[in-house]
Amino acid sequence: MNDTIQIICENLGGKLSVEMGTPLRQIAGRITPGPHPFLAAFVNNRIKELSYRIYTPVTVRFVDITSFAGIRVYQRTAWFLLQKAVKDLYPGRRLHIRHSMGQSGFYCEIEGIDRFSPSETDRLRDRMRALVEQDLPIERRRMLTSEVRARYAEEGFADKIELLDTRPRLYSDLYTLDDTVGYFYGSLAPSTGYLDLFDLEPCYNGFYLALPLRTDPDRLNKNVQQEKMFSIFQEYQSWVTLMGVPTIGAVNARTLAGDAGGMIKMAEAFHERKFADVADAIQRANAERGIRMVLISGPSSSGKTTSAKRLGIQLGVLGLRPVMISLDDYFVDREKTPLDENGEYDYEALEAIDLELFNDHLRRLMAGQSVDIPRYDFITGRRTQHGTPLTLDERSILIIEGIHGLNPRLTPSIPDSKKFRIYISCFTSVAMDNLSRIATTDNRLLRRLTRDYKQRGADALHTLSRWASVRRGEERHIFPYQENADVMLNSSLFYEISVLRPYAEKILREVPDTVPEFDEARRMLKFLDNFIPIPSDEIPPTSILREFIGGSSFTY
């Protein structure tokens, strides 16, 4: 009997002969390494940890920190390492990984410690580095959920238990690192020795965990100053905690108790109050410095369009006359769109906008002239005429929404003193549990999948295949300008992923397992399985969520 099988290794561009039962980590050792170690591998387009054993002919592609999948593995492993170090130095205290900061760092707190000193962060960092030097194995075991629940109870993980109890399964996975247990909703590296670069520094009431950038994996993004964004995260974190829904387990419990309608009303009322506050700030700026233009920016699927319309209503209540323009309507015809480094259309590039036409229209509007604004058709990739000319009067406030709203190159002829700048994004405030945050990019991807399918004729495969390019464009063209904003708005609704689940599941299941995008579809389906679905019946027609699921009273 021949115990040798042939596998295709995409990293080598050819076949390898391996013995049945060989772990991926051993196969990775046969490949000439690049500058960064492999962290996981795609096996037949499904991501697997390096402990996974091969028993049949498969196609394998190893990934390192420079890929989106690899950086997630690195981040999750760093969270587990941090959890272990905190347990060693602060036994009985609870670690909270609050939210992201910068492009690859995280703000963390430890219960009962109001402020971290440099000496305390040095001590915690030194402990993490000692654990890395020990190269401790990280093991994954499949166990009866009752046994996993008992281990969580021993550790006091009430947040993880609540999620287990609301999504009952016979078996669950448990990770162990020495005497520490946990689960991070995705693959981890085989051992602590894979974490060769990280740092800690005091930050606000806690500390900042600095990790490498995917695009620059040999550099740490340190000394991050994001006062406005931090304030938004903290405000929403405090609010969802006050409302009793800081984690998905808590949201699920409220849903199962029949209070989905109450959560919807509460979240929507909070949004409305924030729009009113921003409208008040714009009115003051109009009175004090004569602003005529509001620029609204944010990444893909952050809810910019609905936010602009709801803000316009609030400005109307104050006696101002909002006039709205979407930068999307100034896209150049599709064949004129610039290409990215992979030869794909780069819709996130500023040059994808017809800047000459846009600024000509801007000058004419500010001069009191009438302008016929174009309308871009995403299906045909062509501009058409709007048919309803716009004009401004003395009470008019021009609201311009689009991803480049905060880029100074967009409106060079307008003095900064005459602009009011708003950054909007989906700063997801609810976490899976205290140690596993929900990436805002995942929340936005679910929105975009649903919207593109319903409104732009794009299936899940098309949206997923474009997503990496979208994210690269955001890192390059949007995020560097976010702190230029006068105010930031959080468009997330703590109940929304529960509503998006049935919409997105249907779309994601259409992705075949023969394409690289299959693993991302599979990952999102596993992620959505943690949420108890909430029907959309009680969501008001003015909700930001209606922009993506349909049924909005606004015209887009």
Same domain assignment for residues 361 and 484:
yes
Token readout for 422 is 């708003």
**Contacts of residue 255, Cβ cutoff 8 Å, sequence gap at least 6:** 263, 498, 532, 534
Considering the domain architecture, whether residues 95 and 52 belong to the same structural domain is answered as no
Whether 1 shows a pLDDT value over 50: the answer reads no
**Residue at which a domain ends, from 45, 64, 83:** 64
- Look at residue 110 and tell me whether its pLDDT is greater than 70: yes
pTM: 0.90
Same domain, 510 and 361: yes
For residue 470, pLDDT beyond 90: no
Q: For residue 386, what pLDDT is reported?
A: 73
Based on the domain organization, do 155 and 242 belong to the same domain?
no
Predicted pLDDT at 240: 93
Does residue 139 register a pLDDT over 80?
yes
Residue 555 lies in a domain: no
User: Is 556 part of a structural domain of the chain?
Assistant: no
Structure tokens at 76: 């999750």
For 498-521, how does the pLDDT look when each residue is reduced to its tens digit (9 = 90+)? 999 999 999 999 999 999 999 999
4-14 per-position pLDDT tens digit? 999 999 999 89
What gap in Å lies between CA 478 and CA 300, rounded to an integer? 10
Together in a domain, 143 and 29: no
Residue 223, pLDDT > 70, answer no
User: Do 447 and 537 belong together in one domain?
Assistant: yes
Last residue of a domain, one of 225, 242, 267: 225
If you average pLDDT over residues 347-366, what whole number do you get? 92
107, 7, 91, 94: which is closest to 57 by C-alpha?
A: 7
Tell me: do 201 and 292 sit in the same domain: no
The answer on 138 and 31 residing in a single domain is: no
Average pLDDT, the chain: 93
Predicted pLDDT of residue 2: 62
Say if 554 falls within a structural domain.
no
Edge-first strand order for the sheet with 40-43 is 14-19, 4-9, 59-63, 40-43, 46-48
> What is the C-alpha to C-alpha distance for residues 472 and 361, in angstroms, rounded to an integer?
30
Task: Report the pLDDT averaged over residues 523-549.
Answer: 97
What is the pLDDT at residue 304? 93
Tens-place pLDDT, residues 49-62: 999 999 999 999 99
> Domain with 195 in it: what CATH number?
3.30.980.10
> Which of residues 24, 43, 64 is at a domain's end?
64
Record the tokens describing residue 44, joined without a space: 């037949």
CATH number at residue 42: 3.10.20.30
Q: Are 426 and 229 in contact (CB under 8 A)?
A: no
Name residue 244's amino acid.
Answer: G
Count up the domains in the chain and report the number. 3
Residue 158 lies in a domain: yes
Other beta carbons within 10 Å of 311:
26
185 or 344: which leads in pLDDT = 185
- 476 lies in the same domain as 531: yes
**Amino acid 351: pLDDT:** 92
| pLDDT per residue as tens digits for the range 149-203 | 999 999 999 999 999 999 889 999 999 999 999 999 999 999 999 999 999 999 9
H/E/C letters for each residue in 152-179?
HHHHCCHHHHHHHHHCCCCEEEEEEECC
Per the structure, the complete domain to which residue 37 belongs is given by 4-64
Shared-domain flag, residues 162 and 210: yes
